[in-house]
């Protein structure tokens, strides 16, 4: 479960350079809270383990969100994503867990996490999990959900 830190803590130089995986997701105040604007991230290096075989599963994560009061801090997000590297997880479970953890930390107006897993046994898997704040209506056009393989078939 992710930690619910609201703002990055001041860190010593040594701590600021840490690259250890962590389940703590940090946030910072949204500098444009007066409007809806889309924050888009592509994270092509997600790895977890198949819970049945122990073999690595690789995915590209695509995160789209509209912040409310807080935004995700990128380094802590990177270390959070990295923390799944040695864990067994079904694609559906890990995608929904990550979305829930991020929503818990920043309570966005909108958040969509798309996990495009690379081919395994001839099958590409794409999981899309979405959150919308109750009563919120988009002030901008949201990106369409696109289903495409994580990598081209060669």
Of 36, 42, 48, 57, catalytic: 57
- Here the tokens at position 122 are 């001839």
HSE, CB side, 13 Å, CA atoms: give it for residue 128.
8
Distance between CA 45 and CA 42 in Å, rounded? 9
From the candidates 36, 42, 48, 50, which is the catalytic residue? 50
The angle at the Cα of 22, spanning 17 to 99, to the nearest 5 degrees, equals 125
71 among known catalytic residues:
no
Instruction: Answer yes or no: 50 catalytic.
Output: yes
C-alpha triplet 16, 104, 95: angle, nearest 5°: 90
Query: Which residues are part of the catalytic machinery?
Result: 50, 57
């Amino acid at each position: 479960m992710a930690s619910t830190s609201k703002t990055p803590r001041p860190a010593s130089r040594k701590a600021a350079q840490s690259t250890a995986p962590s389940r703590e997701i940090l946030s910072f105040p949204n500098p444009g809270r007066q409007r809806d604007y889309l924050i888009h991230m592509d994270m092509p290096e997600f790895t977890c383990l198949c819970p049945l075989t122990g073999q690595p599963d690789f995915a590209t994560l695509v995160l789209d969100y509209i912040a409310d009061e807080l935004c995700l801090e990128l380094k802590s997000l990177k270390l959070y994503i990295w923390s799944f590297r040695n864990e067994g997880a079904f694609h559906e479970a890990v995608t929904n867990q990550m979305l829930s953890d991020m929503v818990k930390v920043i309570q966005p107006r909108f958040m969509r996490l798309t996990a495009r897993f690379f081919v395994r046994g001839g099958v590409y898997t794409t999981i899309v999990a979405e959150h919308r704040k109750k009563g919120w209506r988009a002030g901008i056009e949201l990106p369409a959900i696109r289903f495409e393989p994580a990598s081209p078939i060669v």
